[in-house]
Amino acid sequence: MEKEISVPTTLSEKKVSLRQLAKTFLFIGATSFGGGLTAYVRRIIVENKKWMTNAEFFPGLALSQALPGANVVGISLYIANHLCGPRGVVVGLSCLIAPPAIFTFLVGYLYFTFGALPAMESILKGVAAVACGLMASMFVESARESLKNKIDIVIFLATFFLIKKGHLSIPYAILIMAPLAIWYYRPRQVTADQEGIDKP
Amino acid sequence: MTSLVSIYLTLAKLFSSLSLSAFGGGNTILPTLEQVAVGKYHWLTSEQFVDCFSLSKAGPGPTTLIVELIGIKATGFLGNHFVVHAAIVGAIISIFAIFIPSSIVLLVAAHFWEKWRGAPWQVAIEKALMPITCGLILAATYTVAKTAIADWITGVMAFIALMLLLYTKLNPVLIMVIAGVVSWLVIK
């Protein structure tokens, strides 16, 4: 299903129909086991489908992490809106949530009726290990895409240590780091002379 | 019957307010959720809450779907036996309440993000967010690794998965299925 041949594009100029969007999010929803789901979504949308570039994906991920709500729902909403607008959001999120919601309903019924967890622990250990590999692969891609100079590396390390060593919650870490980083990358007035020097 | 309706209302109010307070992802609401669902309303026991967390974490979809399990328990098991339609309504109310409010906020943000695409400040914010996101992802990877890598077997599996994902075009689902079978055979 994911093996469709698609031509790589530098920018996501690709038109995606609501039907394609629904199909893909149904697939993601039904197969999104074991955590690290944002990495799974990136793998499907950016790598397999090539509907979006990393440069378009990662800011959306930041947006969904800064605002309330489950991250995988947030990034899926951002993708659906980018590709198909608000109608895509309704279709995409319904398709993302419906399969796991039905699954959860059945599991919930069985659990509360019979009072035992299904014996899946050893299977899930392997799945969780892959989810960990998925997250790590997203980190590698993100580092490739976003660490372009020394300042980027400083911002990256500072964010990581604020969360891991400073035990700050993610929104606070963003609240501290974003103004500094935006200030560094602020749009600068380029005078005609400088422009002449930069681009001979 | 009136009691069932009042539970529906309670679920809707509780989950929609939690939806808007879930800054930094779904897991941040868990302590409050336990306090209210277990401590205040006694919809389920502490052990059941912990089991529900494991179930929703391992199952497909976001861990936030734990609210669906709570909704089912609170509405479907009021009498001596399971009432399907009550539980379905409870599940739907819980899902809508937890996802819709936060989604509306994000949709407004995403709308303006797309609208201003290419504007100088938007480009600046985009560049600024890239290394920050990279830091957030490393922090998340670290957290996932701490629970997922329990011994050398899971460590090796995670590493092989990473290599396959970076250097092949293999579908992650295929890798997960293989890993699930391998760990079922090896770990026990």
**Which residue did the predictor score with more confidence, A117 or B62?**
B62
**DSSP letter for each residue of A105-155:** HHHHHHHHHH----S-HHHHHHHHHHHHHHHHHHHHHHHHHH--SHHHHHH
What pLDDT was estimated at residue B13?
96
Nearest of A94, A105, A73, A69 to residue B27 by alpha carbon: A69
Q: Residue A7, by phi and psi: left (phi above 0), alpha (psi -120 to 50) or beta?
A: beta
**Interface predicted TM-score (ipTM):** 0.89
For residue A133, the chain B residue with the least C-alpha distance is: B162
**Percentage of residues of chain A with pLDDT beyond 70:** 85
Tell me if A142 is assigned to some domain.
Answer: no
CA atoms of A39 and A35, how far apart (whole Å): 9
Contact with chain A for residue B136, Cβ under 8 A: yes
- pTM assigned to the model: 0.85
Residue A195 pLDDT grade (very low, low, confident, very high; cuts 50, 70, 90): very low
Per-residue pLDDT tens over the stretch A126-149 = 888 998 999 999 999 999 989 999
Contacts of B141 in chain A (CB under 8 A): 132, 135-136, 138-139
pLDDT at B25: 77
**What share of chain B in percent tops pLDDT 90?**
68
- Averaged pLDDT for residues A82-106: 96
Q: Helix (H, G, I), strand (E, B), or coil: what is residue B25? A: coil
* Residue A189 reports pLDDT greater than 80: no
Q: Does B135 touch chain A (CB under 8 A)?
A: yes
| pLDDT band, residue A7 (cuts 50/70/90) | very low
State the smallest CA–CA distance between residue B6 and chain A in angstroms: 21
Each residue's pLDDT tens digit, B110-132: 999 999 988 999 999 989 999 99
CA distance B30 to A92: 26
Judge whether B145 and A118 are in contact, CB under 8 Å. Answer: no
pLDDT in tens, B71-85: 999 999 988 788 999
Distance CA B145, CA A135 (A): 9
pLDDT tens per residue, range A25-77: 999 999 988 778 999 999 999 999 999 999 899 999 999 988 999 999 999 99
Residue A193 has pLDDT above 80, yes or no: no
Residue to test with chain B: of A47, A57, A105, A114, most B Cβ within 10 A: A105
What's the distance, Cα to Cα, between the start and end of chain B in Å?
Answer: 46
Pair A155, A181: CB distance under 8 Å: yes
Which range marks the domain in which residue A56 is found?
Answer: 1-119
Report the range out of A107-121, B45-59, B97-111 with the highest average pLDDT.
B97-111
All residues of chain A having their beta carbon less than 8 Å from the beta carbon of residue B54 are: 117
The pLDDT of residue B1: 52
- Please give the pLDDT value at position A38: 93
User: Taking CB atoms and an 8 Å cutoff, what residues of chain B touch A95?
Assistant: none
Higher pLDDT, A98 or A9: A98
Reading the block at residue B67, the tokens are 């609210």
Number of structural domains in chain A: 1
